[in-house]
Amino acid sequence: MFLIRLLIIAFVIGYFVWFIGNRILGKNLALARVIAATLVITSLVYLSLGILSYVVEGL
């Protein structure tokens, strides 16, 4: 469930960034590249917040 939720969030954010980049800013960004970068960033943020929550609640 963790991975599915992360993938859905990354896809939605990636599509939003791609849509703004293509339609509004006029830049030609590859959707796969944006989704991959968004997945990595979302994973790092989610992991860091999870670790922070574990440390705060565990102590």
- 3 vs 58: CA distance, rounded Å: 23
- pLDDT category of residue 2 using cuts at 50, 70 and 90: low
**pLDDT on residue 1:** 60
Domain that holds residue 31: 2-58
* Average pLDDT of the residues in 19-33: 70
**Does position 25 have pLDDT exceeding 70, yes or no?**
no
* Beta-carbon contacts of residue 11 (< 8 Å; ≥ 6 apart): 35, 38
**pLDDT on residue 22:** 74
**Does position 56 have pLDDT exceeding 80, yes or no?**
yes
Location of structure tokens 């574990």: 54
**Does position 26 have pLDDT exceeding 70, yes or no?**
no
Number of domains in the chain: 1
- 38 vs 49: CA distance, rounded Å: 16
34 neighbors 21 (Cβ within 8 angstroms): yes
The predicted model scores a pTM of 0.49
